[in-house]
């Protein structure tokens, strides 16, 4: 059986459940996890073997942080469960002890930060890029651009969520032959779409679920919602779910949520556990998520996995033509896409749903669920990753 050592910075933040979902659906493979920090292991230990959880990996040379990352990175490092103890030889020792066949780094920055520990290990190296690592990380630490050249030279396989990420890696001088696509995928449950009733309380019920950060576009959502309320008073509601990722951006979002013309129509929930998401989505009609490039260089990279979860639950999506989102939201079939940053286009799309006949909505809801089931089932993604591993060993 193939043995894969997965290297992470943190295993796992609550917002990265998709990583465990993907790994746990790679059948016929033994998965070993090694990380600098461990969190939420009660949720992310199934189907994997956790290594070094008493000590963590060798110290990682983190990218210089922007102002937006201060609370997460400083406080997170102070109160993280594991200290930085082991030497750079620890990864090689793990490889030998567990007879590892493949090393898989999650995030390009993990490969850079563990470079001294992995560069001389004679095994296939897989590196998954998720967006932060080739966008914001390069913005705040340009030295990473040259460091990636070593990674590209050694790696046997570079994985991105879609064409946008692949294009960015090629711009950084990666060999196109090294790059393969692997969307994150979601777990499909037949009960996801069984209970929704369109505009059940006579109002179009919008929902956005994302940590509050500029790239997630909550301010765009609120501005579009404000314009809609002026034109269609008492006909639309909005639920925003998300904790503060960018504290300064979150202040602006909360100020706008408190506007006299908005606050009665908005519900804000700071956090919802992943197992409760489907139930919450059943109480809404449309998922809105106007992703954009942030001023600090951050972007979605691929596409937010929450868009797949929404569609799998039968929620048509309003989003933007940003990164790989057009590959995962089928415009006109499972939702509608606006130009990035275009509030008026978002307003026009919301109006489409306000005026949409129930039978047309039901058709789009069904199409959204079928689209994800046919193309982004995490079991399919797991099989694809297993195929990639097998090709490397062949």
pLDDT tens for 232-279 read 999 999 999 999 888 999 999 999 999 998 988 999 999 888 788 888
Tell me the whole-structure pTM to 2 decimals. 0.87
Stretch among 41-55, 151-165, 306-320, 376-390 having the lowest mean pLDDT: 41-55
For residue 93 the two structure tokens come to 């020792």
- Confidence at residue 7, expressed as pLDDT on a 0 to 100 scale: 96
Q: What is the largest CA-CA distance in the chain?
A: 66
On the question of pLDDT at 68 being above 50, the answer is no
- What is the rounded CA–CA span in Å between residue 301 and residue 328? 13
CA 67 remoteness from chain centre:
21
Helix (H) or strand (E) holding 327: helix 325-328
- What is the rounded CA–CA span in Å between residue 108 and residue 134? 7
Confidence band of 85 (pLDDT split at 50, 70, 90): very low
- Confidence at residue 82, expressed as pLDDT on a 0 to 100 scale: 40
Question: Hey, how many other C-beta atoms are within 10 angstroms of the C-beta on 42?
Answer: 7
At 320, give phi and psi (nearest 5°). -130, 165
On the question of pLDDT at 66 being above 70, the answer is no
- Confidence at residue 276, expressed as pLDDT on a 0 to 100 scale: 86
- Confidence at residue 57, expressed as pLDDT on a 0 to 100 scale: 60
For residue 327 the two structure tokens come to 């590959």
C-alpha pair distances (Å), 34 with each of 84, 290, 292, 390: 13, 34, 32, 22
The string of pLDDT tens digits covering residues 161-200 is 999 999 999 999 999 999 999 999 999 987 676 667 899 8
Helix (H) or strand (E) holding 11: strand 2-11
User: Which CATH class name applies to 2-185+377-393?
Assistant: alpha beta
On the question of pLDDT at 342 being above 90, the answer is yes
- What is the rounded CA–CA span in Å between residue 319 and residue 329? 8
CA-atom Rg of the chain in angstroms? 21
C-alpha pair distances (Å), 351 with each of 6, 14, 356: 46, 34, 8
- Confidence at residue 78, expressed as pLDDT on a 0 to 100 scale: 37
Handedness of CA 163, 165, 170, 174 (dihedral sign): negative
- What is the rounded CA–CA span in Å between residue 105 and residue 343? 38
Q: Where in the chain is the domain with CATH 3.40.50.2000?
A: 2-185+377-393, 204-375
Pick the CATH number of 204-375 from 3.30.465.10, 3.10.150.10, 3.40.50.2000, 1.20.1050.10: 3.40.50.2000
Assign 252 to helix, strand or coil: helix
On the question of pLDDT at 375 being above 60, the answer is yes
Torsion region of 136: left, alpha or beta (phi above 0 gives left; psi -120 to 50 gives alpha): alpha
Q: Omega into 12 within 30° of 0, i.e. cis?
A: yes
Beta-bridge mates of residue 207: 239, 287
Question: Hey, how many other C-beta atoms are within 10 angstroms of the C-beta on 295?
Answer: 12
DSSP state of 289: -
Confidence band of 394 (pLDDT split at 50, 70, 90): confident
Mean pLDDT score of the chain, rounded to an integer?
A: 89
Burial track 296-309 (b if 16+ CB lie within 10 A, e otherwise): bbbbbbbbbbbbbb
Quote the percentage of the chain above a pLDDT of 90: 75
């Amino acid at each position: 059986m193939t043995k894969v050592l997965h290297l992470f910075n943190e295993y796992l933040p609550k917002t990265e459940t998709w990583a465990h979902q993907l790994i746990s659906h790679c059948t016929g493979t033994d998965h070993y996890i090694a990380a600098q920090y461990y969190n939420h292991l009660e949720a992310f230990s199934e189907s994997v073997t956790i290594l070094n959880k008493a000590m963590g990996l060798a110290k990682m040379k983190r990218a210089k942080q922007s102002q937006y990352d201060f609370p997460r990175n400083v406080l997170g490092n102070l109160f993280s469960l594991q200290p930085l103890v082991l030497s750079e030889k620890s990864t090689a020792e793990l490889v030998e002890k567990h007879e590892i066949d493949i090393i898989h780094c999650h995030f390009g920055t993990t490969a850079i930060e563990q470079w001294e520990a992995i560069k001389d290990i004679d095994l296939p190296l897989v590196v998954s890029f998720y967006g932060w690592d080739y966008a914001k990380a390069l913005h705040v630490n340009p030295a990473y651009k040259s460091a990636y050249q070593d990674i590209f030279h050694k790696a046997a396989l570079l994985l991105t969520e879609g064409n946008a990420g692949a294009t960015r890696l090629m711009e950084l001088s990666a060999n196109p032959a090294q790059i393969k696509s692997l969307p994150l995928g979601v777990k499909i449950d037949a009960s996801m779409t069984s209970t929704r009733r369109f505009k059940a309380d006579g109002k179009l019920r919008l929902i956005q679920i994302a940590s509050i950060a500029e790239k997630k576009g909550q301010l765009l959502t609120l501005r579009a919602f404000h314009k809609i309320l002026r034109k269609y008073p008492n006909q639309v509601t909005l639920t925003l779910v998300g904790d503060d990722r960018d504290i300064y951006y979150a202040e602006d979002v909360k100020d706008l949520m408190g506007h006299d013309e908005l606050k009665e129509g908005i519900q804000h929930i700071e956090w919802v556990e992943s197992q409760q998401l489907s139930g919450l989505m059943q109480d809404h009609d449309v998922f809105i998520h106007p992703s954009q490039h942030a001023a600090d260089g951050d972007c979605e990279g691929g596409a937010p996995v929450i868009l797949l979860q929404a569609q799998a639950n039968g929620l048509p999506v309003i989003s933007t033509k940003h990164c790989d989102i057009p590959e995962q939201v089928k415009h006109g079939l499972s939702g509608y896409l606006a130009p990035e940053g275009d509030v008026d286009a978002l307003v026009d799309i919301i109006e489409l749903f306000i005026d949409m006949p129930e039978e047309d909505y039901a058709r789009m809801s069904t199409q959204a669920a079928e689209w994800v089931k046919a193309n982004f089932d995490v079991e399919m993604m797991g099989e694809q990753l297993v195929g990639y591993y097998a090709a490397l060993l062949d």
